């Protein structure tokens, strides 16, 4: 009789985890006052620390100076960090060290320069496709999250979507009248703002519903149709494409085209 030992399997908790990335974001509170796109300013909590045309200097002693406006004469030492406005370049004197904005630059030689002005925007925007990686899309409602189920709701209570843009939905409740799920029965189309979503009920209360939207890309011919003009918004591709080689193949959700308001 021969005995062949079996190959021990790797315990579940020791197996390598597959690569995971963020495929969606649920916005519980949208906040306010955010910029539509970065403009070069910095700050936080409702306060602006530096303007788009500011030059930022951090001394080698880790002391951050007050951001300098254009036209100011400044001198820097080795080890200092300088960040110029985007699209600007200076050359220090007398050692002719070139500093290019907006990336942080660690100074190598003693030198002085005049803080530059932000250049005028010379980017020409095309009509379609645009030159800034954006493209026209139409939003439709594809899912409604139940953030709070509430109580005392009944099957058949009306899901109200304002503005609806043709979207409709229905609810499923448990024994306590809590909403356990919302089924989108029609996605509608042409959302350009976050709608108010709630359930009209004679008895139910305390539910919180969050809409999730998906996108349909629009062709060059469709964008010219008058009936489409009020339904189109522009979205921008992700900044910094992630190489496909870092994913464990295949990644079925890496190109998720959804938006949550």
Q: What is the pLDDT of residues 8-45, one digit of tens each?
A: 555 655 566 666 777 677 777 777 777 766 778 888 87
Query: Is residue 48 assigned to a domain?
Result: no
Does the residue 158 lie in any domain? yes
Alpha-carbon distance 195 to 103, whole Å? 39
**Hey, which bits of the chain come out as E strands?**
42-44, 47-50, 56-58, 73-76, 81-83, 89-91, 98-100, 105-106, 111-114, 134-151, 158-162, 167-173, 179-187, 196-200, 205-217, 232-236, 258-260
Based on the domain organization, do 160 and 201 belong to the same domain? Answer: yes
In a domain, 82, yes or no: yes
Q: What percent of the chain has pLDDT over 70?
A: 70
| Same domain? 211 vs 145 | yes
DSSP letters for 75-89: EE-TT-EEEPPTT-E
Residue 72 lies in a domain: yes
CB atoms within 10 A of CB 140: 20
pLDDT tens-place string over residues 162-221: 999 999 999 999 999 999 999 999 999 989 888 999 999 999 999 999 999 888 877 665
> Under DSSP, is residue 245 helix (H, G, I), strand (E, B) or coil?
helix
Q: Could you tell me the residue range of the domain that residue 65 belongs to?
A: 54-114
The residue from 114, 147, 165 where one domain ends is 114
The structure tokens 């220090």 sit at: 92
Q: How many domains does the chain have?
A: 2
Tell me the pLDDT band of 4, cut-offs 50, 70 and 90: low
Q: Does residue 128 lie within any of the structural domains?
A: no
Residue 108 and residue 145 in one domain: no
Residue at which a domain ends, from 178, 201, 217? 217
Residue 211 sits in the same domain as residue 154: yes
- Domain assignment present for residue 243? The answer is no
Residue 235, Cβ density class (10 Å: 0-12 exposed, 13-18 middle, ≥19 buried): middle
Instruction: Specify whether 149 is located in the same domain as 104.
Output: no
**195 part of a folded domain:** yes
- Does residue 86 lie in a domain region? yes
What pTM did the predictor assign? 0.51
């Amino acid at each position: 009789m021969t005995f062949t030992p079996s190959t021990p399997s790797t315990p579940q908790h020791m197996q390598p985890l597959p690569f995971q990335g963020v495929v969606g974001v649920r916005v519980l509170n949208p906040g306010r006052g955010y910029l539509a796109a970065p403009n070069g300013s910095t700050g936080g909590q409702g306060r602006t620390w530096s303007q788009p045309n500011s030059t930022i200097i951090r001394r080698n002693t880790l002391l951050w100076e007050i951001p300098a406006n254009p036209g100011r004469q400044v001198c820097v030492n080795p080890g200092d960090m300088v960040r110029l406005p985007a699209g600007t370049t200076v050359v220090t004197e007398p050692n002719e060290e070139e500093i290019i904005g907006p990336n942080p630059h660690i100074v190598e030689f003693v030198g002085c320069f005049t803080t530059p002005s932000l250049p005028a925007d010379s980017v020409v925007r095309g009509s379609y496709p645009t030159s800034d990686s954006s493209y026209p899309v139409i939003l439709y409602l594809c899912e409604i999250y139940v953030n709070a189920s509430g109580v005392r709701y009944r099957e058949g209570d009306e899901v109200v979507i304002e503005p609806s843009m043709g979207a409709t939905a229905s609810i499923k409740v448990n024994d306590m009248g809590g909403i356990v799920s919302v089924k989108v029965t029609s996605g509608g189309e042409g959302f350009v703002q976050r709608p108010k979503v709630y359930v009209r009920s004679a008895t139910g209360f305390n539910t919180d519903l969050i809409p999730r939207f998906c996108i349909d890309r629009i062709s060059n011919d469709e964008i010219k149709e008058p009936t489409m003009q009020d339904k189109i918004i522009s979205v921008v591709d992700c900044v910094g494409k992630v190489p496909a080689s870092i994913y464990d193949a295949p990644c079925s959700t890496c190109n998720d085209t959804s938006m949550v308001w």
